[in-house]
Structure 1
Amino acid sequence: MGLPVEELCSRLVRIDTTNLGGGAGKPERPAAELVAGLLTDAGLDPVLLEREPGRSNVVARWPGADPSLPALLVQAHLDVVPADPAEWSVDPFSGEVRDGFVWGRGSVDMKDLVSEVLTVLARWRAEGRGPRRDVVLAFVADEEDAGLWGAHWLVDNHPGLFEGCAAAISESGAYTMRARSAAGDPVHLYSVGTAERGTAHLRLTATGRAGHGSRRNDDNAVEKLVHALSRLSAHRWPVVLTPAVRAFLERVGAALGIPVDLDDPDAIDAAIARFGDARKAVENVVRNSARPTVLSAGYKVNVVPGQAQAQVDVRVLPGTEEQLLAEVDRLLGPGVGREFVSHQPPVQARVDSPWFDAMAAALRSQDPGAVVVPYCMGGGTDAKAFSKLGIECFGFAPLWVPEGYDYRAMAHGVDERVPVEGLRFAVEVLDRFLSDC
């Protein structure tokens, strides 16, 4: 049946696929070749596709027993963000297995899901089993940058590989969140991503009159930009209850016995504060956000520059972009223009569907008390690419996590590690879901 899932995850972590952005970094090819070999061992016929040499994507299809059913896409990325060894307790690419965890960059984001899916496929091959419907498997490059060597390139240039896919699963959902009810009873919550905020990264440019730093200047580009950023940072964005956010608040509140007044923004914030681990899954998605991240102005201390620039990370809830950008323009004021650095729309699937029901049933098969709820992801994934094909995209990467384990601190964090028991739990959940859905 192949390697135990934790050993396969460790092996993948040991392959350094660091993405530095802009096409730079370590190529995904070695990881892709490992994945392709395991897919071949499972009896599939994978293809490797590259926009440029080394930036590899692996796609395969496992035919289902009922070809009349729409296909399911399982997609995961092979690249990882950088890691500074000086900050870590272990070599970030050691894949060390100790203390019940697989340690290393990518162990949570997201070589864990890759190893879990491959483990399920090896089991199916050994037991002579398979899925009800076609399952398309895509292990892609460049998610940690712009997807231009990965998912977006595949969608634009090889859409036929995903023919018939009605839904997709991938990262950022279905891990254990611990909370306590109002009566003090423990509750296990699992949030499945049914939406994610859009990305509208902006470059702001303020222009003014260049001049000597010692002289009065009422047209100072730096001052214009600083005041604009101050107004933007201080702005309190209104609560927006998208379908996923509304359902999350209602269902988590009911599970915990915490009343949530959805007509009162202050009451919503107060209720979220009582949600335990689940607070982190919703606190950033009840509102849009616009956070300055990069500043650039001037070249000498005694010279007032004629231009100053900043970049702002703007995240957009479904259905709100027009109003959000109008408010950004108002806050920036005269003399400060904006342009998109990157622009990808929000993603939204149905909150209630047979797909969601199948995911919930699979989770409850391993954790009978699981309370499964929809949620909106705060960041972005390759769902933004695959949704362009009309595919409903869900964040469903199941993982059991132990008490005290801060899942959200792991992805892109120092000492990233994934619990071995969590990997084994995920294999069982995915086997159930992929077999039965």
Structure 2
Amino acid sequence: MRLIVTLAAAAASLITLPADAQTGAPHEKPARDMLERVTSFRSAQGKGQVPAVADYLKGVLRAGGVAEDDIAMLPKGETTGMLVRIPGRDGSAKPIVFSAHMDVVDARPEDWTRDPFKLVEEDGYFFGRGVLDNKTGVVALASTILRIKQARRQPERTLVFAFVGDEETTFGTTELIAAHPWVKNAEYAINTDAGDGLLSADGKAAIYLVQGAEKTYATFDLTVTNPGGHSSRPRPDNAIYDLAAALTRIGQYRFPVMDSPLTRAHLGAVGKVTPGKTGEMLRRFSANPQDKEAADALFVDPSFVGTTRTTCVATMLDGGHAENALPQKATAKINCRIFPGVPVEDVRQQLVRVIGNAAIAVKTTGNPLESPISEPRADVMAAIDKDVHARHAGIPIAPYLESGGTDGVIYRRAGIPTWGSSAIFIKPDEMFAHGLNERIPVKSFYESVDHIHTLAVALGGVK
């Protein structure tokens, strides 16, 4: 799942990137061919096609010189994960992981302008399901492996490339990967499913953001039960009214302002490239998170409220069983995105206090996954800075907190610090991952492929 931080004011009226984005480098055509092939697989939940993607990639990599012993398949149900390693010269050094996911959110061909499972190049873009989320990352990993092998170069430390099979659903293969002997002692991971660049109004790169943390996704069920009765005989207690009152209290509640070095750096950097009052509030919040005027201004801005605190919002309702009967039951779902470091149970208990009605049950659904912040690491940020600035000199680069979710949450929970970096620059209003007519600028595809290779060479000590 890829979410991009929006800068609506700074990114208006963006121009289209040029169609001719290739440099003629020998690795580019094989990379494009791989993108065309992996896009053709309908690797969505229930389609059973992720193993076919993995088998195709394994064949390409084996033909490119990867030994059978350096590939591990990790099947789980209808899907599979796959690990590929390039052994390092220093057996005592901890490995570095690069990650991408092979699965996609499904797409119905009848709803799309173009066949979602056929790569189409048009007007400077590649169209197809997964080209942005996250099959460009898959190709970037495979291309990097092939380039290192073809150059007969060996890294100082082992590089492990993780191809995940169910990021869009259960993270089951991600958990298998994180626990695998090749991965569990990794020093850190680079996740291609996050970390993007934004363009300004004149079409130039404005800022690049490196994902260093994710909020906890948690949903709570609110349930009110009642004896009910005939609708002609109303009673003072009514399940729907009680639930409505609880939802009103939640809607009016603001969780406390929170911050970290990562979020302050993120909002400060965004503030420098955001014009007007919003930019001023971002800069002020970065300097002093207790600035009430700044915090209040960002609270009502959907682009930034999630970076400043925990948020909870009503998303679903169900109540009553007949139009001529008093409701015996009413329920609502409250979806929360919880600031890193805040326990899910603390948020549940706070909702109970806010509601103030012991008759309303508040239950956590599923198994929410909490993960820590990966604060910026100097050598990783230096490698990212160098590569991004080689193409977009002088733009600000900052870490950010993701309101959505990626495989990074699993790696961080396993004790592997993780940063998201893809080098994809895209218009905020063309971020169609999970939606219709998903696309990626052709130029961004090739830049992303080169970015991962550059990071693997630099961070892995490839010689």
TM-score (norm 2): 0.82
Where 1:284 maps in the other structure, the secondary structure is helix
How do 1:218-297 residues align onto structure 2 when only pairs under 5 Å count?
Answer: 218-254=236-272, 259=280, 260-262=283-285, 263-267=290-294, 280=303, 282-297=304-319
Tell whether 2:386 aligns with 1:386: no
The equivalent position to 2:155 in structure 1, one of 131, 138, 147, is 131
Q: Cα distance 1:91–1:266, how it changes in 2: closer, same or farther (>3 A)?
A: farther
Aligned residues: CA RMSD: 2.7
Compute the displacement of 1:256 (Å): 6.5
Structure possessing the higher relative contact order (Cα contacts under 8 Å, 6 or more residues apart): 2
- The 8 Å contact of residues 172 and 377 in structure 1, kept in 2 or not, is answered as no
How do 1:194-209 residues align onto structure 2 when only pairs under 5 Å count?
Answer: 194-209=212-227
Amino acid at match of 1:314: C
Identify unmatched segments of 5+ residues in structure 2.
1-25
Amino acid at match of 1:110: N
Compute the displacement of 1:405 (Å): 5.5
Q: Cα distance 1:314–1:171, how it changes in 2: closer, same or farther (>3 A)?
A: farther
Tell whether 2:412 aligns with 1:414: no
- The 8 Å contact of residues 371 and 410 in structure 2, kept in 1 or not, is answered as no
Compute the displacement of 1:226 (Å): 2.3
Q: Cα distance 1:292–1:153, how it changes in 2: closer, same or farther (>3 A)?
A: farther
Amino acid at match of 1:378: S
Q: Distance in 2 between matches of 1:217 and 1:94?
A: 60
Q: Distance in 2 between matches of 1:294 and 1:82?
A: 23
Q: Cα distance 1:37–1:307, how it changes in 2: closer, same or farther (>3 A)?
A: same
The equivalent position to 1:330 in structure 2, one of 350, 353, 362, is 353
Q: Cα distance 1:298–1:273, how it changes in 2: closer, same or farther (>3 A)?
A: closer
Which residue pairs with 1:102 in the alignment?
A: 126
Amino acid at match of 1:239: V
Q: Distance in 2 between matches of 1:186 and 1:50?
A: 43
Which residue pairs with 1:115 in the alignment?
A: 139
Q: Distance in 1 between matches of 2:149 and 2:55?
A: 19
1:40-61 CA-to-partner distances (Å, cap 9, x unmatched) read 2333331212122x31111121
Length, aligned pairs only: 418
- The 8 Å contact of residues 86 and 159 in structure 2, kept in 1 or not, is answered as yes
- The 8 Å contact of residues 372 and 413 in structure 2, kept in 1 or not, is answered as no
1:295-322 CA-to-partner distances (Å, cap 9, x unmatched) read 2233322223322222222110113346
Higher strand fraction (1 or 2): 1
Q: Cα distance 1:354–1:255, how it changes in 2: closer, same or farther (>3 A)?
A: farther
1:85-117 CA-to-partner distances (Å, cap 9, x unmatched) read 343211222222222222111111111110122
Which residue pairs with 1:424 in the alignment?
A: 446
The equivalent position to 2:422 in structure 1, one of 397, 407, 418, is 397
TM-score (norm 1): 0.87
Q: Distance in 1 between matches of 2:139 and 2:107?
A: 21
Tell whether 2:190 aligns with 1:169: yes
1:137-183 CA-to-partner distances (Å, cap 9, x unmatched) read 111122111213x212444xx43231431111114433221348xxx
Q: Which moved more, 1:165-174 or 1:29-38?
A: 165-174
Q: Which moved more, 1:171-180 or 1:138-147?
A: 171-180
Tell whether 2:40 aligns with 1:14: yes
How do 1:15-34 residues align onto structure 2 when only pairs under 5 Å count?
Answer: 15-19=41-45, 24-34=46-56
Amino acid at match of 1:95: L
Identify unmatched segments of 5+ residues in structure 1.
none
Amino acid at match of 2:61: L
